Amino acid sequence: MYSLNKDKRLGFGTSSVFFTAISTILGAILFLRFGFAVGTLGFGGAVLIVILGHLVTIPTALAISEIATNKKVEGGGAYYIVSRSFGLNIGTTIGIALYLSQAISVAFYIIAFTESFEPVFNWVNESYGLILPRQAVSLPAMALLSILILTKGAGYGMKALYVVVILLFGSIILFFAGTATGAATSEIQGFSGMFKNMDDFFLVFAIIFPAFTGMAAGLGLSGDLKNPGKSIPNGTIWATFAGMIIYVIIIWKLAVSASADELINEQLIMSRIGMYGWLAIPIGLAASTISSAIGSILVAPRTLQALGSDESFPFKNVNRFFAKGQAETNEPFNAAIISIIIAFVFVALGSVNSVAIIISMFFMVTYGAICLISFLNHFGSDPSYRPTFRSKWYFSLIGFLLSIWLMFKINPFYAWVSIIIMVLIYLGISKYHKNRSGLQSIFKGAIFQLNRRIQIYLQKSGNVQKAESWRPSAICVSTNSLDRDAAFRFLNWVSYKYGFGTYIYLVEGFYTKDTHRQARTILKKLLLRSGNRNNSVYLDTIISPSYTSALAQAIQLPGISGMANNMVIFEYDKKNITELKTIIDNFYLTLAGNYDVCILGSSEKKIQPKSPIHVWIRSFDYENSNLMILLSYIIWGHPDWQQSSIKIFEICKAHEIDATRDNLVELVKSGRIPITPQNIEIIQKDEAVSSKKLINEKSQEAGLTIIGIRPEHLDIYEIDLFKGYDNIGNVIFVNSHEVKEIE
């Protein structure tokens, strides 16, 4: 990343943050639209807008203060906070949208600035019959502002800001000192007079809301603050609360000083109310809009500079150009040029009404993201999150939910446009920066805490394993992962939709630096190999002197789900049955822990798209049969088997055929297993024909054959129990330690 020269700060303090924010909060909307809001909705309705807007901005201000005191805040303001909390890909997405909003806001405020010259425009029209375009004032004003920022930098910009803030507060004081108009009739007379036309509430809210977006303006100075951890919280919170109080007082003054018709129809009604209003209010409007424009033109280039320093864009030269600072103070000269060009384009257009809504949307997304960061950090309980200022998690949650809700209440179309634009930006950034953290980084801590609390609750309540709610929590320890992947594939089938799977590669030996390094290397290979599949298996490695010791260690620990393991999977190559000796020796180890066991005989025979799953039930498979049927259904849920079907075969005595069929049909029907009666075949037991022969004949085309085994048979036949299945493909031998219920 390109250096931002972070030690070269201008040394601004809390007052800089406060004045940058308050000058934007008390902006054009206050002078041009608050009268319309009061006249349309009444005093109570206008105050309700202020309250609702601050239910977003106050939690955001508190969240900003909290996050800013958790770690060192560098240049980039809100972008820096979001990117260092959510990851660079999401931070860049929001940062680009935020930057465009800030740059276009400069044009918005300059255009609003021209409204303060309305008396001049009227005088020229009356005296000379000329109708001057607003650009006659806005373009020169934009040019002068640009020269100030490019030649003098943020230091002079801040000095100019102090001057215009003084003028701004002076005009507001003169407004309060004024008297009512001749047609004034106070509407603060009971509930009916305070609230009216509430059907238009969100229409008016959409017009007023940009006034609330100034709260985060001071964040953009983060790279130039002497102590961001102190100045950002204090300046932002004081500006937010001061702005809210001033808003309410101005609404009251408007409500008691002019009639509803005057408030709605006269854009500069404040000039008729204030003392020397004909002069003070245009000056106040000019001061508010130019101060807001200065605030935005100071903030936008610093956001773009931070984006460039993080190499956010796909061209190195572009990133270097944006990141480059000027002189010892690291002034974002290049980024300022780009911001000024964007502002000039929109000033020349003369109207940004539609764009202003999208600006509000992007600000809302930013506010919502900041509140979400705070909430997730509270809920995630990350030990590295140690802010010196603490908000409340429920404030942050309210701010996040209201931000999203208000976006759609203001304008659903523009809300979707904003979201779609940001999704497209995110997809593009993620494609370019594949190695940077993305969406998964947002919820990592919260998901961890949620899972931890759920598992602790389940353990305490004693409901972890109930027969009626059985689901597989399977584990497989293997030494053949790099040679063949049959065991991994089977475990993935079992855990894809309904269960949990842990696949552990055994590195035989003692724990040393060399074996640890070997284990990490193998794990990377396994993760890379499994990355392009429908993988639902957790992969890991274990270092142990023997397979038995590794298995004994692994099965005793809970799986990644937090559930205790309840199934052990072994695997051998049907062409190399000598591997079965190790499996048989360790089979008895699993019996001590009451684990279900699946022994997979893997075949080189490829599974065709429509290859069925065959389940074979024999007279001694009472305890195994339900688990075998459940496993067939669970495996069938994996995409590898989406075109296949399940077929059950049961071998029984002649006089039991009808009852066996009825029982099986009722079992799959009541258990809602997708097996049709046509796929249930009952075979009469013939002492002259072995079950192995029947299975070889009828399951030649099966993709997977499931067969039950019992420990006592393993004692007698040992390896021979698994021989004789040469005509079929992959076969699973299942032993259930108890009968599973199918309900």
| pLDDT tens digits for range 16-69 | 788 778 877 887 788 888 888 998 998 999 999 999 988 888 888 888 778 777
Query: Residue 496 is encoded by which pair of tokens?
Result: 């894809």
Q: Using alpha carbons only, give the angle 423, 428, 430 rounded to the nearest 5 degrees.
A: 90
- Which residues of the chain fall short of a pLDDT of 70? 1-12, 71-77, 152-160, 182-193, 216-224, 228-229, 327-329, 350-359, 380-386, 436-449, 451-452, 454-469, 531-534, 559-562, 743
Identify the CA nearest to 490 among candidates 734, 732, 737, 736. Answer: 732
The pLDDT value given to residue 237: 84
What residues have CB less than 8 Å from 588, skipping those under 6 apart? 711
DSSP annotation of 502: E
Taking phi over 0 as left and psi of -120 to 50 as alpha, with beta for the rest, 211 belongs to alpha
542-562 confidence digits (pLDDT tens): 999 999 999 998 888 776 666
The pLDDT value given to residue 186: 60
Residue 618's φ and ψ, nearest 5 degrees, are -120, 175
What's the CA gap between 463 and 563, in Å, rounded? 11
The secondary structure element, H or E, covering residue 551 is: helix 547-556
The pLDDT value given to residue 141: 82
What residues have CB less than 8 Å from 652, skipping those under 6 apart? 619, 660, 682, 683, 684, 685
Torsion of CA 418, 419, 421, 427, to 10 degrees: 160
Identify the CA nearest to 411 among candidates 203, 637, 161. Answer: 203
For residue 296, list its beta bridge partners. none
What's the CA gap between 528 and 512, in Å, rounded? 24
Single pTM value for the model: 0.63
Which stretches of 378-525 are assigned E, i.e. beta strand? Answer: 473-478, 500-508
- Is 555 within 8 Å of 571 (Cβ atoms)? no
3-state secondary structure string across 184-222: CCCCCCHHHHHCCCHHHHHHHHHHHHHHHHHHHHHHHHH
Q: Using alpha carbons only, give the angle 676, 680, 681 rounded to the nearest 5 degrees.
A: 150
From residue 487, alpha-carbon distances to 163, 475, 490, 571, 704 in Å are 74, 10, 5, 6, 13
78: Cα within 13 Å, side-chain hemisphere: 32
**97 residue type, one letter:** A
What residues have CB less than 8 Å from 290, skipping those under 6 apart? 109, 110, 113, 141, 145, 164
Query: Residue 151 is encoded by which pair of tokens?
Result: 């030649």
**Count of beta carbons in the 10 Å neighbourhood of residue 399:** 26
The pLDDT value given to residue 638: 87
